[in-house]
Structure 1
Amino acid sequence: MASGKVLIFNGPGEELQLLNRELSEPGDGEVLVRNLYTTICGSDLHTYCGLRKENTPTILGHEIVGKVVKISESHSGKDYAGNPLQEGDVVTWSIFSADPHSEMSEKGMPQKTVGVFKYGHAMVTEKDAFHGGLAEYCILKPHTAILKIPDNVPLPVAATINCAVATVAGALRLAGNLTDKTVLITGMGLLGIICATMCKDAGTHKIYAADIDKNRLQQSLAFGADETCLLPLPSDMKSDNPLSVLNSSIDVVFDMSGSPDAMEAGVETLGIGGVAVWIGAVFRQRKVMIDAEQVIRRLITIKGLHNYNYDDFVYAVDFIARNYVRFPFEQIVGKEFLLKDAKSAFEYALKNKPLRVGIRIEE
């Protein structure tokens, strides 16, 4: 029986274990993929540090691109878009597998289906280990949306599609038509950077980028931002809010930071009929304080998004295929490591805070 390497995460502070595990044949409706490249997402870092709890042992990594090795006979033989799926195709896939007939799937929220399976978050068991990006292989479960990647898209860029890019695509869906709109983005990590590119592609009138890091603000200009705003640390935000000059002038504000201060300040910038889309607050912080009277009088809408649906995923692949040369996406990965050096990769990400650290699975 064939085998492959897996990098086991046993919990915060525990050593990562690079082990060989037996690799079984893909079961009914499954597809065996050889992982090519994985980028370390912010949620991976949160889990690694203990800010986010996962059942362990597990294999981290869900921003993955890989190559099809074997397709089970019971699989349709097609990707989610209906294209023929063949061995050797480079693909990415939804970070979850969900029953398409579930109540949540039928409501357009498959990521919230009861019992949803999430890659890079599941427990390693004796019979099921290959389900994360930090491994040589991944066995894709039935009802996973698989999409082929155009040959010319670089692997480090393709790896980010099924998490960061697709999530931002969902944010734009919630925001509605952005043509000629004025947009504010708070938090210019990878989500914010991609949001700027997608807003530019969607025909916005003007894009303001806000962050506490001046280097990320400078970088955002190459990714579509028109003007930048350096924010103070949260402790100083109440007395020194540079976003106040934008009050009532913004049509849509996207928060990618998760900072309660940034979310509060962002809502205050919205004009009549404005929309706030919140994505960044994925771990517990203090409660957000909003002036309800102003929300009512200015007809403001606040929406939240966690993960994405399948249409967002399709949009994300199409967006990258059209725009990966338009914007400097090659800057996304600050440094690249091999799988055996994953510990150094996590340490580098935590110390230097690049948009992403990449791990090339094949040596």
Structure 2
Amino acid sequence: MKKIATYYVFSGANTALVKVEQPIPELNAGEILVRIRYTTLCGSDLHTYCGLRNEPSPTILGHEIVGVVEDISPSHSGLDAQGNSLHIGDLITWTVFSSDPSTGVYQSETPQKNDKLYKYGHRQITEEDNLHGGLATHIILRPHTCLRILPKDISLAVAATINCAVATSAGALRLAGTITGKNIHIAGIGLLGLVSIAMCRELGAKNIIASDINPARLAMAKSFGASHTIDLSETEESTLLQDISVDRFIDMSGSPEAMELGIETLALHGSAILVGAVFNQRKTGIDAEKAIRKMLTIKGLHNYNYTDFSNAVDFIIENWQKYPFTSLIEREFPLEEVNAAINYALTQKPIRAGLAIYTPITQI
């Protein structure tokens, strides 16, 4: 008797996802079978659905996932990234990628940029390669996937966001350098921005300035620890960025205007970390003379490394109840209503829409 997995297939832009059921294959060497408990819809999933981002298709979207270990290949180490023993029934999170360290171009500082990277929620379905996305009842974790065991009492909805938004925010702060006692400006108050604000607050930032064009998002920023907010939609320009000497600028918006303002208003020896500009847009202008005279550092970040991932796990375990993280998953749907969930996310633009996945044991 074989267990059956259910997943929903994306085949083209703005087209409803189609339900598929198939037997779960036998695990290959080093693999782990996970029963998915929760998936949140990331902005990149929605960009793919709308045709703003190209992914190989047909595919199973979804990479912000949390689940329970259901089977472990005998050749797997049986350990998580902290050296803890894995057991059937453990709640786990994992990196959005599997990165083989034996490849010639592998760099431990940037495993997410390795050759032939295996990215969950971003792969084409084939007969030999499936069950690799979050809009499903099961997923198979491939070898070289970094994973962590989570406390069983953690919010599943919050835990699902660790391996994308939270880990990327941790990476941005790593690149930013010292946060304690510094004045921080964070542009773009989506999930990445809110997580970054809370992280900066926990690290002892002096002032945390949040900027956005959405007043409701700026109100959220206050609840996550922002000390000041700037509404960029207002016609009267704020003087706050001149009044407070900004040491670190982190852009999660991807807006050229926001990036230009943030870099322009950095103080001497300031650092800018650019994260949000992952789609086609106009070029961002930088005053090179000012960058030189202020001795600025400008860095880009795409995804995250293993240290960032583990820091993200630790941060959420310690702080998910201290800040209103659960409120950010603004509506929850069962997996079978995935198309309604996507429509809600596109029309209502919540921080996140969630899919709670209950998996009855079905066999053939």
Tell me if both proteins adopt one fold, taking TM over 0.5 as the criterion. Answer: yes
Amino acid at match of 1:141: R
8 A contact 1:35–1:66 mirrored in 2: yes
1:80 matches 2:111? no
1:292 matches 2:288? yes
Gaps of 5+ in 2: 360-364
1:110 match: 111
Q: Within 5 Å, give how 1:215-226 maps onto structure 2.
A: 215-226=216-227
Distance 1:277 1:35, change over 3 A: same
2:289 and 2:105 map into 1 onto residues whose CA distance is 33
1:336 and 1:246 map into 2 onto residues whose CA distance is 42
Distance 1:55 1:89, change over 3 A: same
1:362 matches 2:363? no
1:355 and 1:92 map into 2 onto residues whose CA distance is 20
1:89 CA drift (Å)? 0.1
8 A contact 1:243–1:265 mirrored in 2: no
SS in 2 for 1:6: strand
Amino acid at match of 2:78: G
Alignment deviations for residues 66-112 of structure 1 (CA, whole Å, 9 cap, x no partner): 00000000000001111101100000110000012345543410000
1:305 match: 301
SS in 2 for 1:169: helix
Q: Which moved more, 1:97-106 or 1:318-327?
A: 97-106
From 274, 279, 298, the equivalent of 2:275 is 279
8 A contact 2:67–2:91 mirrored in 1: yes
1:144 and 1:164 map into 2 onto residues whose CA distance is 18
2:342 match: 346
1:150 match: 151
1:322 matches 2:318? yes
2:290 and 2:160 map into 1 onto residues whose CA distance is 41
Alignment deviations for residues 286-326 of structure 1 (CA, whole Å, 9 cap, x no partner): 00000000000000010000000011000000000111111
Compute the TM-score of the two structures, normalised by the length of structure 2: 0.96
1:51 match: 52
1:15 CA drift (Å)? 2.2
1:242 CA drift (Å)? 2.7
SS in 1 for 2:67: strand
8 A contact 1:276–1:301 mirrored in 2: yes
1:177 CA drift (Å)? 1.3
2:212 match: 211
8 A contact 1:247–1:269 mirrored in 2: no
8 A contact 1:56–1:124 mirrored in 2: yes
8 A contact 2:183–2:244 mirrored in 1: no
From 255, 260, 266, the equivalent of 2:262 is 266
1:13 match: 14
1:303 and 1:5 map into 2 onto residues whose CA distance is 41
1:2 CA drift (Å)? 2.0
2:300 and 2:243 map into 1 onto residues whose CA distance is 21
8 A contact 1:120–1:132 mirrored in 2: yes
1:247 CA drift (Å)? 6.9
8 A contact 1:244–1:269 mirrored in 2: no
1:121 and 1:3 map into 2 onto residues whose CA distance is 22
2:41 match: 40
1:198 and 1:87 map into 2 onto residues whose CA distance is 32
SS in 1 for 2:166: helix
Distance 1:325 1:104, change over 3 A: farther
Q: Within 5 Å, give how 1:175-214 maps onto structure 2.
A: 175-214=176-215
8 A contact 1:232–1:241 mirrored in 2: no
8 A contact 1:247–1:271 mirrored in 2: no
1:23 match: 24
2:251 match: 255
2:204 and 2:162 map into 1 onto residues whose CA distance is 21
Report the aligned-residue RMSD.
1.4
1:71 matches 2:72? yes
8 A contact 1:251–1:275 mirrored in 2: yes
1:333 match: 329
2:181 and 2:128 map into 1 onto residues whose CA distance is 53
1:245 CA drift (Å)? 4.0
